[in-house]
Copies of this chain bind each other. A is one copy, B any other.
Amino acid sequence: MKTKGEMTRAKILEAARELFNVKGFTATSINDLVAATGMQKGSIYFHFPGKEAIACEVLKDASDQFMAFLGRALGGDNPGASIDNFFRCALDKHLATGFVGGCIFGNTALEMGDSDPEFAGMIDQVFDEWISRVASVVTEAQKRGQIRTDIRYDALAKHIIATVEGGIMMSRLKKDERPMRECLDALRITLDLQV
């Protein structure tokens, strides 16, 4: 069971994650966190030295959760089915939020990519791990003839992830699932994906 302190920390991190994702890191203030949690500023500072530290924890937690999500999403009956399942799970994840927030890693990549090398490095690690996990499923799918073999597995993995991120971006802008859904459907066809 969580202690009261752990529960308070978790509450701050949850509110911060939502605020960072919707408003962006820079636009989120400690006062926003006070308003969102109903806590006093002093309690927030008791648990975290400042916004940067909260953001680091939020990204770490989001990364852990995302890797757990990837583990589930990439777990189909065979490699081709795993890639197909990943597309479906990614779409479902964003449908569930109505495309509010989008991808915290993509957002942070574009918000912090130039201005904050420490955050950029953290996000880069998430992308590298994501690419590497998708790439290993792609290799297996290539061995079984379930995906096209005329492009290297690692380039295909980056292509898949770029298209997913770009699809999320367009669907988030329009608050409409169609661009992301169409991008994923196009990927299934252009990759010769066999389930």
The residue that A190 contacts in the complex, of B107, B111, B115, B190, with Cβ under 8 A, is B190
Q: Tell me the number of copies of this protein.
A: 2
Size bin of chain A's contact surface: 35 or more
Q: Mark A158-174, 1 if CB is under 8 A from B, else 0.
A: 11011111110110111
User: Are A22 and B114 within 8 A (Cβ)?
Assistant: yes
Using known A-B contacts A111-B111, A169-B110, determine if residue A162 contacts B179 with beta carbons closer than 8 Å.
yes
A39-47, A69-77, A83-91, A98-106: which lies at the interface? A98-106
User: Are A162 and B173 within 8 A (Cβ)?
Assistant: no
SS of A interface (majority): helix
User: Are B124 and A100 within 8 A (Cβ)?
Assistant: no
User: Are A158 and B183 within 8 A (Cβ)?
Assistant: yes
B residues in contact with A151, CB < 8 Å: 185-186, 189-190
Chain A residues with CB under 8 Å of chain B are 22-24, 26-27, 100-102, 106-107, 109-111, 113-115, 120, 123-124, 127, 148, 150-151, 155-156, 158-159, 161-167, 169-170, 172-174, 179, 182-183, 185-187, 189-191
Given contacts A109-B170, A148-B190, A162-B183, 15 further A-B contacts (CB under 8 A): A24-B24, A26-B26, A101-B114, A113-B169, A113-B172, A113-B173, A123-B173, A124-B173, A151-B186, A158-B186, A159-B163, A159-B183, A164-B166, A165-B169, A165-B170
